[in-house]
Chain A
Amino acid sequence: MSVEAIGSAVVDSAAVGRSHVLRRLMRDKVAATATVVLSLIVLGAIFAPLISPYDPYFTDLTIVMQPPSAEHWFGTDNTGRDILSRVIYGTRNTLMLGLIGVLVGGLLGGFLGILAAFYPRLDGWIMRLVDVMLAFPAILIGLAVAAIFGAGLAAVVIALVVATVPDVARVARGAAVGVMSQEFMEAGRAVGVTDSTLIWRYLTLNCISTIFVFLTLRFGQIILIGSALGFLGMGAQPPTAELGMMAAQGRDFLFMAPHIATIPSLAIFVIVLAANLLGDALRDVLDPRLQQ
């Protein structure tokens, strides 16, 4: 068996059903709804400057804490800013944080997990490192980073990445160990394929769908952790809109203007719910064991 033959077998295997993913997602009503809602949210976030009715940073102390009205659909906050505009921009920042956390954390975690599976001599070291990382709650890491370097989006990103890496590393290692026992890996070694080619072309490509499904499931949790850090004041700083921070700002006015805290909290709820439902649906579609 040539290298090309091994490669085409693997890629063909990985590609099976990929063209049907979207169609199958749409067949499930819950998944379809989640996909549509999340797509709308993402589109809203991307085109925030075009669809926001007001400047999200414009303060007007003459209209503070106004309830929802025709002029301000979601009302105004404690400095007279339009909450709808801030929710749109806040969603953008919240999604961005979640995405960076998942992508960077997924990349690092996946790399560590695959290395651990491929090189048994590194396995113990990498997995103990992962154990150590798992011992630190993400919130605690975020607080520590913010305390040392100052609160800001960077502190949240670091916390989210650290929160993502160990779980992904474990999942990636598990998937990679399964692939390592496949015949094509042994065949690859036998015909002299280099380690880097084996790792990237055969091992990684065969683990990607598993890691991807895990990351979609993880996305909602990461957004929740990011929002929690924002709520604690460790994330975005004023005037930047971020949903967790907006909810925290409204907490002090729950008696007088409950909409200031509840609207951003509802936005977080909708995003996380849609992300979780979509993650579940993607797992159902992409995981061959569940298909059987």
Chain B
Amino acid sequence: MIKALLGAAFALSAVGSASAQTLNMMKGIDAPHYDAQRTTWGPTSDIVNMIQDTLVALDWDGRTPIPYLAKSWTVSPDGKLYTFKLRDDVSFCSGKKMTAEDVIFTFKRLKSPEIKGPYAWRAGNIKELRAPDPYTVEYELNEPYSELLLQLTMFTNAILNKDNVEALGKDYGVKGADGTGPWCLESWQPRTNITLKRHDAYKWGPSMYKNKGPVKFEKMVIKIVPEDSSRVAAMMAGQFDTTHQFPSQFIAQAKVSPMLTVTEAKPNFQLLYFGFKTTRPMVADKRVREAMSIAIDRGAIAKAILLGNADPAFTIVDAAALDHDPKTAGIVKQDVERAKQLLDEAGWKPGADGIREKDGMKLAPKVYYTANANSARVAEAIQGYLRKIGVHWNLQPWDSTIASVKMAEQDYEIWSVTVPYLSAGDLMNIYFDSANIPTPNRMNWKDAETDLWLKQGRAALTPEDRAKFYAMVQQKVMTEHLWMPVLNINMHEVTNKKLKGMRPHMIYQNTFYKGLDASF
């Protein structure tokens, strides 16, 4: 089988013959466009992080914003005014110098009704943007936003070239996208390949990299290879230098392969969870939700289903993430007998076929998820566990092309997604604020206390206050068992051994991030 796959890999279009100055990357999926402000789409974000930069970068620890296009900043005592001092030596790939005008244009565009930026909230509630001089930006908010700097590291807040966006109009992100990043977008053949070239003037790499720029390669060719087995074979045959989309079930093979190196992003916040729609009668009772959550063996699922490429998640927020509340650690503990007892107490009694019933209704919740390998396998494993306590999960995987539409219909009791996040506040503000009902608050969780604490956390002026309010939210949503956290999925960068200096980043599954230290 391995020989056959290797043979198939050699038959793939030859990229190995390309120049040694070309870095060959492989992705499993392409993006519909590369306009960062109009999407939440991961396949857009990794390319955007290569070709464009943010005011602040996220350090390797996944929680510290560090200077990038902004060399320094100050925050007013009321937490509403951020004054960013920009570097004066930054230019776009087109050669134009980056100034405060581009920064202000970027955030005004992000907030404009025409763009309808799905992640516009990450830039805070902006009152006014001012440029006292070409390299100073005054960023004034209507209310304090304690996580603004952390959120500004996200790809959706990358700084755009005003002239380029205006010149391209609706074609921006499709026919071109200028940026200040270490790589420049040269060409894009949708669903086939993306070619980037070195940004020769780039010398403003963030302090987390040894190399401040430019990158060590003249070009990067990113080829789209959707089939898992083909990506495995191509990497093992040395056809590509790196990929961050190596199927998890083959990671063990990659680790022992003489020509591949596997590196894991640490820390890494990428939660695979199942959420309960609390307005559906079948899962409205928190005892039912808790029963399902404590009936599964997360350690066994991580080991057997993800083959060790995930860690069991007993809390919604990972212990290494900013503002994680350690008190939530003991809320979810596997206890099958207690799970059965909870269901008995909730009035669900075993039927003739072993599946519990109540008022003529079987405890068979509909479970929606996108049909990718991890979700499907994990859902099936949980289904097996829950049968043992008399619950039948009625699994309904949806193809990725239609999953978002079906999820939006909300005809389910439970759904699952895998979500990368930055911090406790990042995760909880998105999912648990009642303002976000029906989506992304798919639990339809409407709770005045939760909303108040989230607001207080967002507006906190000190890290201690922020942590306190977000801890209260974590305890609330965990004891209500609104989510069943299952796994924290590992992120890997698999590279050819000849490629040195690769350290995977955790931000939004963009392990390559800027790739400044990579070299042969």
The chain A residues found within 8 Å of chain B, CB to CB, are 57-59, 61-62, 64, 78-81, 146-147, 150-151, 233, 237-239, 251-256, 258
**Which 10 pairs, one residue from A and one from B, show the smallest C-beta to C-beta distance?**
A59-B384, A61-B300, A61-B304, A238-B380, A64-B304, A252-B249, A237-B395, A79-B381, A238-B395, A147-B402
Considering the complex, give the chain B residue whose CB is closest to the CB of A147: B402
Chain A residues near B406: list those with CB within 8 A. Answer: 150
Question: Could you list 6 examples of A-B contacts with CB < 8 Å?
Answer: A61-B297, A61-B300, A61-B305, A233-B399, A238-B383, A255-B253
Stretch among B156-164, B335-343, B371-379, B511-519 lining the A interface: B371-379
- The residue from A233, A239, A255, A256 contacting B380, defined by CB atoms under 8 A apart: A239
Chain B residues near A151: list those with CB within 8 A. Answer: 396-398
Cα(A242)–Cα(B12), bound, Å:
33
Mark each residue of chain B from 383 to 410: 1 if its CB lies under 8 Å from any CB of chain A, else 0: 1110100000001111101100010000
Chain A residues near B250: list those with CB within 8 A. Answer: 255
Known: A57-B387, A252-B249. 6 other contacts (CB 8 A): A58-B384, A61-B297, A233-B399, A238-B379, A252-B373, A253-B249
Cα(A239)–Cα(B391), bound, Å:
13
For A61, A64, A252, A258, the residue with the greatest tally of chain B CB atoms inside 10 Å of its CB is: A61
Chain B residues near A62: list those with CB within 8 A. Answer: 300, 304
Give the Cβ gap from B403 to chain A, nearest Cβ, in Å: 10
Mark each residue of chain B from 410 to 453: 1 if its CB lies under 8 Å from any CB of chain A, else 0: 00000000000000000000000000000000000000000000
Is B500's CB within 8 Å of the partner chain A? no
Decide: B387 and A258 in contact? CB cutoff 8 A.
no
Decide: A256 and B381 in contact? CB cutoff 8 A.
no
Cα(A239)–Cα(B297), bound, Å:
18
Considering the complex, give the chain B residue whose CB is closest to the CB of A146: B399
- The residue from A79, A80, A233 contacting B371, defined by CB atoms under 8 A apart: A233
Decide: A254 and B1 in contact? CB cutoff 8 A.
yes
Give the Cβ gap from B101 to chain A, nearest Cβ, in Å: 46
B interface: dominant SS: helix
Is B333's CB within 8 Å of the partner chain A? no
Cα(A62)–Cα(B381), bound, Å:
12
Decide: B253 and A239 in contact? CB cutoff 8 A.
no
Decide: B401 and A147 in contact? CB cutoff 8 A.
yes
Is B303's CB within 8 Å of the partner chain A? yes
Chain B residues near A64: list those with CB within 8 A. Answer: 304-305
Is B301's CB within 8 Å of the partner chain A? yes
Decide: B396 and A80 in contact? CB cutoff 8 A.
no
Is B16's CB within 8 Å of the partner chain A? no
Decide: A150 and B398 in contact? CB cutoff 8 A.
yes
Is B176's CB within 8 Å of the partner chain A? no
Chain A residues near B300: list those with CB within 8 A. Answer: 61-62
Mark each residue of chain B from 195 to 232: 1 if its CB lies under 8 Å from any CB of chain A, else 0: 00000000000000000000000000000000011000
How many B residues touch A, CB cutoff 8 Å? 34
Chain A residues near B249: list those with CB within 8 A. Answer: 252-253, 256
Considering the complex, give the chain B residue whose CB is closest to the CB of A248: B376
Considering the complex, give the chain A residue whose CB is closest to the CB of B366: A150
Give the Cβ gap from B313 to chain A, nearest Cβ, in Å: 16
Give the Cβ gap from B63 to chain A, nearest Cβ, in Å: 33
- The residue from A61, A239, A251 contacting B383, defined by CB atoms under 8 A apart: A239
Cα(A255)–Cα(B300), bound, Å:
21
Decide: B384 and A239 in contact? CB cutoff 8 A.
yes
Is B247's CB within 8 Å of the partner chain A? yes
Decide: A237 and B396 in contact? CB cutoff 8 A.
yes
Give the Cβ gap from A252 to chain B, nearest Cβ, in Å: 5
Chain A residues near B229: list those with CB within 8 A. Answer: 251, 254
Decide: B397 and A61 in contact? CB cutoff 8 A.
no
Give the Cβ gap from B35 to chain A, nearest Cβ, in Å: 27
Chain B residues near A233: list those with CB within 8 A. Answer: 371, 397, 399
Give the Cβ gap from A205 to chain B, nearest Cβ, in Å: 43
Considering the complex, give the chain A residue whose CB is closest to the CB of B406: A150
Give the Cβ gap from A248 to chain B, nearest Cβ, in Å: 10
Give the Cβ gap from B6 to chain A, nearest Cβ, in Å: 12
Is B2's CB within 8 Å of the partner chain A? yes
Chain A residues near B373: list those with CB within 8 A. Answer: 252
The chain B residues found within 8 Å of chain A, CB to CB, are 1-2, 228-229, 247, 249-250, 252-253, 297, 300-301, 303-305, 371, 373, 376-377, 379-381, 383-385, 387, 395-399, 401-402, 406
Decide: A255 and B1 in contact? CB cutoff 8 A.
yes
Give the Cβ gap from A186 to chain B, nearest Cβ, in Å: 55
Give the Cβ gap from A181 to chain B, nearest Cβ, in Å: 50
Chain B residues near A81: list those with CB within 8 A. Answer: 384
Give the Cβ gap from B400 to chain A, nearest Cβ, in Å: 11
- The residue from B304, B376, B402 contacting A80, defined by CB atoms under 8 A apart: B304
Cα(A59)–Cα(B305), bound, Å:
12
Give the Cβ gap from A214 to chain B, nearest Cβ, in Å: 34
Give the Cβ gap from B201 to chain A, nearest Cβ, in Å: 45
Known: A61-B301, A61-B305, A150-B398. A252 touches B381 (CB 8 A): no
Give the Cβ gap from A44 to chain B, nearest Cβ, in Å: 23
Considering the complex, give the chain A residue whose CB is closest to the CB of B387: A57
Cα(A251)–Cα(B381), bound, Å:
17
Decide: A78 and B305 in contact? CB cutoff 8 A.
yes
Give the Cβ gap from A251 to chain B, nearest Cβ, in Å: 8
Chain A residues near B399: list those with CB within 8 A. Answer: 146-147, 233
Give the Cβ gap from B174 to chain A, nearest Cβ, in Å: 26
Cα(A67)–Cα(B69), bound, Å:
56
Considering the complex, give the chain B residue whose CB is closest to the CB of A60: B384
Chain B residues near A59: list those with CB within 8 A. Answer: 380-381, 383-385, 387
For B249, B303, B373, the residue with the greatest tally of chain A CB atoms inside 10 Å of its CB is: B249
Give the Cβ gap from B363 to chain A, nearest Cβ, in Å: 16
Cα(A228)–Cα(B56), bound, Å:
50
Cα(A95)–Cα(B1), bound, Å:
30
Give the Cβ gap from B323 to chain A, nearest Cβ, in Å: 33
Cα(A56)–Cα(B249), bound, Å:
24
Chain A residues near B253: list those with CB within 8 A. Answer: 255
Cα(A58)–Cα(B380), bound, Å:
11
Chain B residues near A58: list those with CB within 8 A. Answer: 384, 387
Cα(A146)–Cα(B249), bound, Å:
27
Chain B residues near A147: list those with CB within 8 A. Answer: 399, 401-402
Chain A residues near B377: list those with CB within 8 A. Answer: 78-79
Considering the complex, give the chain A residue whose CB is closest to the CB of B405: A147
Considering the complex, give the chain A residue whose CB is closest to the CB of B253: A255
Cα(A59)–Cα(B388), bound, Å:
9
Cα(A57)–Cα(B386), bound, Å:
11
Considering the complex, give the chain A residue whose CB is closest to the CB of B377: A78
Cα(A3)–Cα(B379), bound, Å:
64
Decide: B396 and A79 in contact? CB cutoff 8 A.
no
Cα(A255)–Cα(B395), bound, Å:
27
Known: A237-B397, A253-B249. A79 touches B380 (CB 8 A): yes
Decide: A258 and B381 in contact? CB cutoff 8 A.
no
Chain A residues near B303: list those with CB within 8 A. Answer: 61
Chain B residues near A61: list those with CB within 8 A. Answer: 297, 300-301, 303-305, 381, 384
Give the Cβ gap from A144 to chain B, nearest Cβ, in Å: 11
Cα(A258)–Cα(B383), bound, Å:
24
Decide: B384 and A79 in contact? CB cutoff 8 A.
yes
Chain B residues near A57: list those with CB within 8 A. Answer: 384, 387
